[in-house]
Amino acid sequence: MNILAPSLLGCDFSNLERQIKAVEEAGAGYLHLDVMDGLFVPSISFGMPVIASIRKCTDMVFDVHMMVKEPGRYAQVMKEAGAELLCVHQEACLHLDRTVSQIHALGMKAGVALNPATPVSVLECILDQVDQVLVMTVNPGFGGQEYIPYTLEKVRALRRLATERGLHLDIQVDGGITPENAAVFLEAGANILVAGSSVFRGDPGENTRKFMDVLRKYEAD
């Protein structure tokens, strides 16, 4: 299933609820929530209290992207705040297998994110255990960047590996995704698109509909 996951970092926080409702009504399935600690990435974003308050105004799936060191420390509180899918960085986990098992034990789906320069091969041992892989198509920490072209080959390699193993793996891409270039990621094998500024800059509802037109076309194909 092809899904759009608007990234809350791109929204107008003074109109938060209105913009969330706009993308939900236009067909977005996930809400992508970037949690940053200022250590794993330079920026600091928001945490559990904000996520818990947002949970009250939408039924969208909360796709929480943990850009923090040792994210397993926060799995329980993220579950309590409303997270349904918790995505951790391979580069941030000393014991990735343990963290993925912890997330599943709490009743959440587990995702693993890879920075642009991290090879797909690091997931070969654990790929069967994860629900989603997030391929970062920019270096994480800031919105509004252009995607790095070589990350497309990582998506292709990951989809090939999943197909060879008979896995129904969700592959998410994040960074520089627009309605105009979305097709290249879908053709490479991604099925979940994260988009921040390209959704929330201008009319979020109309921008979401543009993405959904592309997603539905490739679902039909």
With beta carbons less than 8 A apart as the criterion, state whether 200 and 217 touch: no
Whether 29 has a binding-site annotation, put simply, is: no
Whether 82 has a binding-site annotation, put simply, is: no
Instruction: Decide if 34 is catalytic.
Output: yes
Place of tokens 């497309």: 152
Whether 89 has a binding-site annotation, put simply, is: no
Out of 34, 37, 63, 131, the active site residue is 34
Q: How far is Cα of residue 162 from the mean position of the Cα atoms in its chain? A: 18
Whether 47 has a binding-site annotation, put simply, is: no
Give the separation between CA 25 and CA 48, rounded to whole angstroms.
Answer: 25
Out of 170, 174, 203, 213, the active site residue is 174
Whether 205 has a binding-site annotation, put simply, is: no
Place of tokens 């008979």: 166
Whether 174 has a binding-site annotation, put simply, is: yes
Whether 211 has a binding-site annotation, put simply, is: no
CA angle 7, 13, 18 (to 5 degrees): 85
Whether 121 has a binding-site annotation, put simply, is: no
Whether 45 has a binding-site annotation, put simply, is: no
Give the separation between CA 30 and CA 16, rounded to whole angstroms.
Answer: 15
Give the separation between CA 172 and CA 192, rounded to whole angstroms.
Answer: 4
Whether 131 has a binding-site annotation, put simply, is: no
For residue 89, what are its two tokens? Answer: 């960085």
The bridge status of strand 85-89 relative to strand 170-174 is unpaired
Point out the residues that are catalytic: 34, 174
The binding site for substrate comprises: 7, 65, 141-144, 174-176, 196-197
The binding site comprises: 7, 32, 34, 65, 141-144, 174-176, 196-197
The binding site for a divalent metal cation comprises: 32, 34, 65, 174
